[in-house]
Structure 1
Amino acid sequence: MLKFIGSGSAFNTKLGNNSAYYKVGNQMLLIDCGSNIFHRIKENNILEGIEHIHVLVTHTHADHVGSLADFIFYSYYCHGEFAKPTVSVYSVHDVKIEELLAINGVIPELHCITKKFQSDTQYNLNFCKVLFEKSSHVEEIPSYSIELYIDDKLIYYTGDTNSLKLSLLNPNESSQVYDYVYVDTCKADYEGNVHLSLRKLSELVSRDLRSKFWCMHLDEGFDRQEAETLGFKVVTNEF
């Protein structure tokens, strides 16, 4: 459903920072824009035919927003009509993305459009519905997962997390049945891990549900074959 520009964790430079996108006509939805994502977008001409980009920000770690300012400046000065904002950035209030962009010289409402959302509230974009939910990641900064409704498909994208909400694990007890679940998964497995290990994921998710779960944000030790043998899907970079 979603296409991936990068599918790696912060240090898995071979796979690139985890970032997904979806195109509808001349608009594009982009989830996060980590340190090497702008380079990949530009090198692979992903913006061809796109007039406006909607960026959803899960949290402010560099591997999720590290090249967002560059991407905004490029879109403002070099893509589409000169000096016209073509990027809208959406985040929850406490993520403070405007402050981070300002440090990098981006002026909200001039270089881009910024919109602050409340968590656990559904918002309508032009071609999809979006809801941010708080996720369990690190204490220092807030992090959010994203629920998307696109083309009659319900999607859950965890961002960075070390746990899963119950409705993902027991869909029979929830009114929401997800078609795709994209989940932060790593091989690293230790006490206090701020990401979700493959071992823990396999303990949480029953075998009959695993075909809907797509592992992403993969660390260097992640074994794709092991995950697929366990019944999970694993995302693949488009480029």
Structure 2
Amino acid sequence: MNYRRIGFTQGDGFSMDMIMLGTGGGFSKKYYNNNALINLNGYRLLIDCGSTAHRSLHELGLSWEKDVDGVIVTHIHADHVGGLEEIALDGKFKYGKKIDLFAAEQLLPLLWENSLKGGVGDDDNGRLEDFFRVTPLPTDSVFRIGGMEMSFHRTQHVPGKLSYGLTIGPLFYSSDSRFDERLLLSLPSDIRYILHDCSMTSSDFHASLEELLSLPAEVQQKIWLMHYTDNLQEYEDAGRLGKLNVLRQHRLYQWPAEP
């Protein structure tokens, strides 16, 4: 597997690594859905589980039932939750297994009513709790998963729909967000990595490359692009990414860095 080391530590002996199951936008044909599998001291957490997540896990020689302990959901678009139906149904009727499901407290009813209920609900199973070990998370305070401090940040993605970015230790994960310069410039000083969605052209729902390139150079250097469009390579080849970095599909990013 292809490794890229990016260093940080949080406390003695803490370790974290991340495999990007996909790095593409919602309609990407090349890079799969923008989902990540992170390992927090042995606790294996999916950040979102989109429609291509299971195919990607299979290609990596992994599977949700053996290699995933929990899923945290940032919002309910299909490229972020479309794979949860398979976990729910196979877990219930094939493996007899529930995994942890984490989401903002306000998002959980919407996840059931507007996404999963139609596919997995029946007369005997009418709640998320029938399929998952559900943990509502606060949006106004820090919480811990796998020993790592995390917090939600409300993001502006689609008007009228809830969506959240995540702070994970010294890393900010935007999930899906329009450009929010105020948020990016107000992140705590110990945030050293910003994993941000990026459309190569202007977008009503995502930060654009032009907008991210308007940030100061010292902020650009912290940014790792994800959820990008399929024509990313054209911009790379033309040297049009400034000081921005690019996250790659199926590459393992590992913390802490070796000396």
| TM-score normalised per structure 2 | 0.77
**How far has the Cα of 1:9 moved from its partner?**
0.3
Q: Provide the C-alpha distance between the structure 1 equivalents of 2:78 and 2:221, rounded to a whole number of angstroms.
A: 30
Asked whether the equivalents of residues 20 and 32 of structure 1 are also in contact (C-alpha less than 8 Å), the reply is: yes
The answer to whether the aligner puts 1:69 opposite 2:71 as a matched pair is no
The answer to whether the aligner puts 1:211 opposite 2:221 as a matched pair is yes
Match of 1:232 in 2: 244
Distance 1:44 1:52, change over 3 A: closer
**How far has the Cα of 1:121 moved from its partner?**
1.5
Match of 1:194 in 2: 205
Match of 1:143 in 2: 163
1:178 equivalent among 164, 174, 191: 191
Asked whether the equivalents of residues 54 and 83 of structure 2 are also in contact (C-alpha less than 8 Å), the reply is: yes
Letter in 1 for 2:194: V
Q: Provide the C-alpha distance between the structure 1 equivalents of 2:139 and 2:226, rounded to a whole number of angstroms.
A: 23
Q: Provide the C-alpha distance between the structure 1 equivalents of 2:19 and 2:239, rounded to a whole number of angstroms.
A: 19
**How far has the Cα of 1:187 moved from its partner?**
0.8
**How far has the Cα of 1:65 moved from its partner?**
0.8
Q: State which drifts further: 92-101 or 62-71.
A: 92-101
**How far has the Cα of 1:75 moved from its partner?**
4.4
Distance 1:98 1:19, change over 3 A: same
Provide the secondary structure at the position in 2 that maps to 1:15.
Answer: coil
The higher relative CO (CA closer than 8 Å, separation ≥ 6) is in 2
Match of 2:33 in 1: 17
**How far has the Cα of 1:36 moved from its partner?**
1.1
Asked whether the equivalents of residues 28 and 50 of structure 1 are also in contact (C-alpha less than 8 Å), the reply is: no
Match of 2:14 in 1: none
Letter in 2 for 1:12: S
2:133 equivalent among 107, 113, 128: 113
Query: Between Structure 1 and Structure 2, how many residues are aligned?
Result: 225
Q: Provide the C-alpha distance between the structure 1 equivalents of 2:36 and 2:237, rounded to a whole number of angstroms.
A: 22
Match of 2:142 in 1: 122
Distance 1:207 1:141, change over 3 A: same
Provide the secondary structure at the position in 1 that maps to 2:221.
Answer: helix
Letter in 2 for 1:142: L
Q: Provide the C-alpha distance between the structure 2 equivalents of 1:133 and 1:230, rounded to a whole number of angstroms.
A: 26
Asked whether the equivalents of residues 137 and 160 of structure 1 are also in contact (C-alpha less than 8 Å), the reply is: yes
Q: Provide the C-alpha distance between the structure 2 equivalents of 1:238 and 1:228, rounded to a whole number of angstroms.
A: 24
The answer to whether the aligner puts 1:94 opposite 2:106 as a matched pair is yes
Match of 2:43 in 1: 27
Asked whether the equivalents of residues 213 and 241 of structure 2 are also in contact (C-alpha less than 8 Å), the reply is: no
Match of 2:71 in 1: 55
Asked whether the equivalents of residues 41 and 146 of structure 2 are also in contact (C-alpha less than 8 Å), the reply is: no
Q: What's the Cα RMSD here? A: 2.5
**How far has the Cα of 1:228 moved from its partner?**
6.8
Letter in 2 for 1:13: K
| TM-score normalised per structure 1 | 0.83
Q: Provide the C-alpha distance between the structure 1 equivalents of 2:139 and 2:239, rounded to a whole number of angstroms.
A: 31
